[in-house]
Amino acid sequence: MKTAPPAADRLIDEILGYRKAKVLLVAAYLDCFSRLERPRTAAAVARGLRLDPRGAEILLDALVAMGYLLKDGALYRNAPVASRHLVPGRRGYLGDNLKYQEMIWDAWSDLRRSVRRGRPARPLEHWLLRHRGFTREYIRGMDDIAREPAREIAALVEPGGARELLDVGAGPGTYSAALQRRNRALRATLFDLPSTLRVTRDLLARRPGAAGRTRLRPGNYRSDPFGREEFDLVLLSHVTHDEDPATNRRMLAKARRALRPGGRVLIHDFMLEKCRTAPEFGALFSVHMLAYTAGGRTYTEDEYRRWLSAEGFSGLRSWDVSAGRRNATRLLLGVKRG
């Protein structure tokens, strides 16, 4: 019998990747894992979630094959990895992020067109402003994945007497909350679209202590000013990858205006090496941006450094965040000159 050459096996593995991703995303979206902390048949899961029994059984069997569920006779239950990360309320819960990824899958389905046209048919604003339910999963999903890097960043950034922080495109406000835990005197202004801030408000209510030191400022970071010499710190976390270089330069100019002399700007994001082809996560994240933003992509650290110098920041420093993890990021700091 002829065995398939390794190159073809590799192609099969890559194709299987999208099938596995879709099975996992749909199961998370439908909340299958919340039903399976104790053993249940596929028919019971189907009844509880109002699914078709054939559909449920085929999906659950695939999840067993992938190692997310265990099967004993006709009974299915969560494997430890699912219990830890896919059951709502668990400390390591990532399910909201998976729900957002499931919604944005539609944008990936249209990738052929986005590559031809260089932009998606439906950009981020469409999803944020017109897609019911998207903002909630998008923002809660950000919170899921931000908690660990936020703790790391809070440990890296010296409080340095900072009293006022502006968090541009704050989303769930996870990074501000971590910086405020490190610096009890820090007040945070969370700047974001009104549709996002509605979700942020709910999340803040669950963070006792932060609410009294946190203001919400609705606005559009493309068109609205950030203020004049009001802040000691301006944070742009996972915001610049959504925008084109000209918009990012304008945001940095507004950040500079909003900072007091000696104030610091922080850029936190995935960053590519000069060649733009590594790390793989960043190169693929750029495709994610092509799929659903009008001008976003993953930038190199050199690009950020050039923009910061051109917009009047000096004393540039940078750190690895989540080093060694697949989704490692960089934190870049610049100080407002004169």
Residue number, nearest CB to ligand SAM: 171
What is d(CA 45, CA 135) in angstroms, rounded to the nearest whole number? 28
Query: Shortest distance, CB of residue 116 to ligand SAM, whole angstroms?
Result: 25
Query: Shortest distance, CB of residue 144 to ligand SAM, whole angstroms?
Result: 10
Query: Shortest distance, CB of residue 221 to ligand SAM, whole angstroms?
Result: 4
Residues interacting with ligand SAM, by CB under 6 A?
128, 139, 142, 146, 169-172, 174-175, 192-193, 196, 220-222, 237-239, 242
Percent helix, strand, coil in the chain, to 5, is 50, 20, 30
Laid out side by side, the sheet with 231-237 consists of 214-218, 187-192, 164-168, 231-237, 259-269, 329-336, 313-321
Question: Which of 239, 258 has the CB closer to ligand SAM?
Answer: 239
Question: Which of 27, 236 has the CB closer to ligand SAM?
Answer: 236
Query: Shortest distance, CB of residue 222 to ligand SAM, whole angstroms?
Result: 5
What is d(CA 124, CA 155) in angstroms, rounded to the nearest whole number? 32
Backbone angles phi, psi at 337, to 5 degrees: -80, 145
Question: Which of 78, 97 has the CB closer to ligand SAM?
Answer: 97
Question: Which of 111, 193 has the CB closer to ligand SAM?
Answer: 193
Query: Shortest distance, CB of residue 153 to ligand SAM, whole angstroms?
Result: 10
- H-helix segments, the chain: 6-29, 42-49, 53-66, 80-85, 95-109, 111-117, 124-130, 134-156, 174-182, 194-205, 245-258, 280-292, 301-310
Question: Which of 64, 105 has the CB closer to ligand SAM?
Answer: 105
